[in-house]
Amino acid sequence: RLSERLPVEQDDEFGKLAQVFNQTFARLEESFDRLRRFTSDASHELRTPLTAIRSVGEVGLRKGLDADALREVISSMLEEADRLTKLVDSLLTLSRAESGTLKLRPEPTNLVALVSEVIECLEVLAEEKEQNIALMASQEAVADIDRGTIRQALMNVLDNAIKYSPQGSRISVCVEVSAGEATVEVSDGGPGIAPEHAKKVFDRFYRIDSGRSREVGGTGLGLAIARWAVEVNGGRIELESEPGKGSIFRIVLPVRES
Ligand code: ADP
């Protein structure tokens, strides 16, 4: 551990230098801690699908399995492999985000068109659950944003609305512009999020119900990525929810002054 500190004895330049040194050290220490925690959490998460692949594989090696049983084994292994791929992709995105190596290309982007594109991509998943996604937009909204990162944020939030809401429910996406800001609001009829979880759901690997998250193919990284993507584009992400009354996720972005 980096626990060394310089004693600050005087109020002169040496004292100030020692203070700066100590503060830098403390920041370094904090980032090492964060990195350590992240590596340990990530390893733990990677281990879950790997363990599943192993144990399903062992079942597959048992004697006397018929073709149908074998096919089932292979299909569960593929499902776990998909989970692993999703997790690794998300980890890569976050690590690029952290290191600042992801090159952003802000350009004037029509938000309503982008939102429709994302809805179109996820419509199949909603149809599987007989859910209806309604898009409401009263006016054009053009924001100077990096399309790719905001697309990812919208995908993650809408994907959650579909995943965590019941069969046959309605999801609405509303795009609005006011006071120099564009808001994309995703409302669902899901279980809602209690206040004690509301801030934490944006933390890496935080899940309210990890069994449920796993069941629906979650990685625990979706909202952490969404928050980073929105903030790096100069915006913010907000959550308004009450248990039993659904959730509203709001992505607020600065719009171009016309
Ligand atoms: P996951 O991959 O588990 O969905 P996220 O980071 O996207 O991870 O979300 C974190 C947690 O927040 C989820 O595990 C879930 O418990 C909760 N959550 C996210 N979106 C919703 C929603 N629309 N309704 C209810 N709970 C949600």
Is the CB of residue 191 below 6 angstroms from any atom belonging to ligand 1?
Answer: yes
CA of 160 to the centre of ligand 1 (A): 6
Is the CB of residue 186 below 6 angstroms from any atom belonging to ligand 1?
Answer: no
Say what the pTM is: 0.87
Nearest to 171 by CA among 247, 96, 70: 247
Confidence of residue 215 (pLDDT cuts 50, 70, 90): confident
pLDDT exceeds cutoff 90 at 13? no
Nearest to 154 by CA among 231, 230, 103, 88: 230
Nearest to 233 by CA among 160, 181, 177: 181
Detail the DSSP E strand segments found in the chain: 106-110, 132-137, 142-146, 170-178, 181-187, 236-241, 247-254
- Model pLDDT for residues 97-137, shown as the tens digit of each residue: 888 888 899 999 999 999 999 999 999 999 999 999 999 99
Q: What pLDDT score was predicted for residue 101?
A: 84
CA distances (Å), origin 17, targets 28, 88, 216: 16, 42, 53
Sign of CA pseudo-dihedral 201, 77, 120, 123: negative
CA of 110 to the centre of ligand 1 (A): 27
Q: Which atom of ligand 1 is nearest to 161's Cα?
A: 23
* Per-residue DSSP letter, 62: S
Q: Which atom of ligand 1 is nearest to 223's Cα?
A: 6
Is the CB of residue 164 below 6 angstroms from any atom belonging to ligand 1?
Answer: yes
Is the CB of residue 218 below 6 angstroms from any atom belonging to ligand 1?
Answer: yes
pLDDT exceeds cutoff 80 at 141? yes
Confidence of residue 3 (pLDDT cuts 50, 70, 90): low
Nearest to 250 by CA among 171, 182, 204, 190: 182
Residues 6+ apart with CB under 8 A from 122: 133, 155, 158, 159, 162
CA of 144 to the centre of ligand 1 (A): 28
- Model pLDDT for residues 151-201, shown as the tens digit of each residue: 999 999 999 999 999 999 999 999 999 989 999 999 999 999 999 999 999
What whole-number distance in Å separates Cα of residue 83 and Cα of residue 76?
Answer: 11
* Per-residue DSSP letter, 138: S
Mean pLDDT of the chain: 93
